[in-house]
Amino acid sequence: MVIVGDDPASRIYVNSKKKACAELGIYSEEHALPVSTTEEELLKLVEELNNKSDISGILVQLPLPEHINEENIILAIDPKKDVDAFHPVNVGKIMVGNYDFVPCTPAGVMELIAESGVDIAGKECVVVGRSNIVGKPQAMLLLHKNGTVTVCHSKTKDLKEKTKKADILVAAVGVPEMITGDMIKEGAVVIDVGMNRLADKKLVGDVHFESAEKVVSAITPVPGGVGPMTIAMLMKNTVKAAVINRTGLK
Ligand code: L34
């Protein structure tokens, strides 16, 4: 795990990842670098980790400080060690539908849906948000499970009209409590990927839980929903990476 700078949220997430590794008996090391780290220095560290045979997975916690180009760093990670599945090779594999690593947050959402016994095939799935980390891969994963997928974003006209049609609604916009109960279809399954810290330190999702709860058949809370699943899926990818890198088997 590589963390650059002192973003408090990133610190919490990386600590949780370290703890999960320890609990499972996965060896982990943390490389905490100062905010003044240059792109060149970070690239050098990634290269070193690429070449270390006892390291199966590399995770560079995002966001990175502004002076570092995230794309360059992601491109430098060996795709076989890319447990986030952010490298374009792994992104491409997801698009094609033949992949080793699934990005952790969308994978966690899929696991939640599957474990709840919800069948995705033929359902109206609406993803609100189109980030490379969540929205786009989420849409692909739902499509692979034969959902009818709509991706909404900041330029979408009449968002409510779209969300109201969703049997499965994934909110990944990053706007606190933006999706309210009146925007949700009766009986829908709602997955809240949002992780917004309000001024009073309260952590809320992208869904207004109190109004949504009255309408849905199932909904994930924040905290205690998608966040811990993200970490669980990272562990799954890491074990997979260890097997692939040591044996060449899948
Ligand atoms: N490289 N960067 C990389 N990989 C990732 O997979 C992430 N992400 C996102 C941010 N940057 C990343 C995470 O790890 C978001 N994320 C993440 C992971 C865990 C949790 C939230 C976001 C989590 O455990 N959330 C807790 C609450 C923690 C708190 O109190 O702040 C929850 O119960 O939702």
Provide φ and ψ at 148, rounded to 5°: -95, 110
- Radius of gyration, alpha carbons of the chain: 18
Query: Residue 67: pLDDT band by 50, 70, 90 thresholds?
Result: very high
Residue 61 included in any domain: yes
- 250 pLDDT exceeds 80? no
- 249 pLDDT exceeds 80? no
Q: Identify whether residues 69 and 125 lie together within a single domain.
A: no
Q: Identify whether residues 21 and 118 lie together within a single domain.
A: no
Q: Identify whether residues 63 and 122 lie together within a single domain.
A: no
**CA–CA gap between residue 179 and residue 24 (Å, rounded):** 36
What 8-state DSSP symbol labels residue 169? Answer: E
Q: Which of 13, 16, 28, 236 has most ligand 1 atoms within 8 Å of its beta carbon, as the pocket-test mutant?
A: 13
**CA–CA gap between residue 165 and residue 183 (Å, rounded):** 9
Ligand 1 atom 24: the closest Cα is on which residue?
227
What 8-state DSSP symbol labels residue 65? Answer: P
> What are the distances in angstroms from CA 172 to CA 131, 154, 177, 195?
8, 12, 11, 9
The ligand 1 atom nearest the CA atom of 12: 31
The whole-number average pLDDT for the span 209-213 is 98
The whole-number average pLDDT for the span 163-182 is 98
Q: Identify whether residues 111 and 211 lie together within a single domain.
A: yes
The reply to whether 17 belongs to the active site is yes
Q: Identify whether residues 68 and 179 lie together within a single domain.
A: no
> Could you tell me the distance, in angstroms and rounded to a whole number, from the CA of residue 61 to the centre of ligand 1?
9
Query: Residue 246: pLDDT band by 50, 70, 90 thresholds?
Result: confident
Catalytic entry in 84, 100, 192, 206: 84
Q: Identify whether residues 38 and 114 lie together within a single domain.
A: no
Residue 203 included in any domain: yes
Lowest mean pLDDT: which of 86-90, 118-122, 181-185, 197-201?
Answer: 197-201
**CA–CA gap between residue 230 and residue 7 (Å, rounded):** 19
Residue 88 included in any domain: no
Query: Residue 200: pLDDT band by 50, 70, 90 thresholds?
Result: very high
Q: What is the pLDDT of residue 247?
A: 84
Please write the tens of the pLDDT for every residue from 8-60: 999 999 999 999 999 999 999 999 999 999 999 999 999 999 999 999 999 99
The whole-number average pLDDT for the span 100-109 is 97
The whole-number average pLDDT for the span 183-195 is 98
The reply to whether 165 belongs to the active site is no
Q: What is the pLDDT of residue 3?
A: 98
Please name the residues in contact with 8: beta carbons below 8 A apart, sequence gap of 6 or more: none
* Three-state DSSP class for residue 60: strand
Beta 148-152 vs 124-128: how paired, if at all?
A: parallel
Residue 250 included in any domain: no
Residue 127 included in any domain: yes
Residue 94 included in any domain: no
Residue 247 included in any domain: no
Ligand 1 pocket, Cβ-based, cut-off 6 angstroms: 12-13, 16, 59-62, 84, 104, 195, 203, 222-224, 227-228, 230-231
What 8-state DSSP symbol labels residue 80? Answer: G
Domain boundary among 80, 96, 117: 80
Element (H, E) at 20: helix 8-24
- How many independent structural domains does the chain possess? 2
The whole-number average pLDDT for the span 51-77 is 97
Q: Identify whether residues 57 and 121 lie together within a single domain.
A: no
> Could you tell me the distance, in angstroms and rounded to a whole number, from the CA of residue 76 to the centre of ligand 1?
22
CATH code of the domain containing 41: 3.40.50.10860
Residue 96 included in any domain: no
* Three-state DSSP class for residue 189: strand
**CA–CA gap between residue 30 and residue 7 (Å, rounded):** 15
Residues 56-91: b if buried by 16+ CB within 10 A, e if exposed: bbbbbbbebbeebebeebbebbbbbbbbbbbbeebb
CATH code of the domain containing 164: 3.40.50.720
- 150 is in which domain, residue-wise? 104-227
What count of other Cβ atoms lies within 10 Å of the Cβ of residue 219? 19
The whole-number average pLDDT for the span 98-120 is 97
**CA–CA gap between residue 42 and residue 222 (Å, rounded):** 32
Q: What is the pLDDT of residue 188?
A: 98
The reply to whether 200 belongs to the active site is no
Task: From 5, 51, 60, 1, select the one nearest 31 (Cα to Cα).
Answer: 1
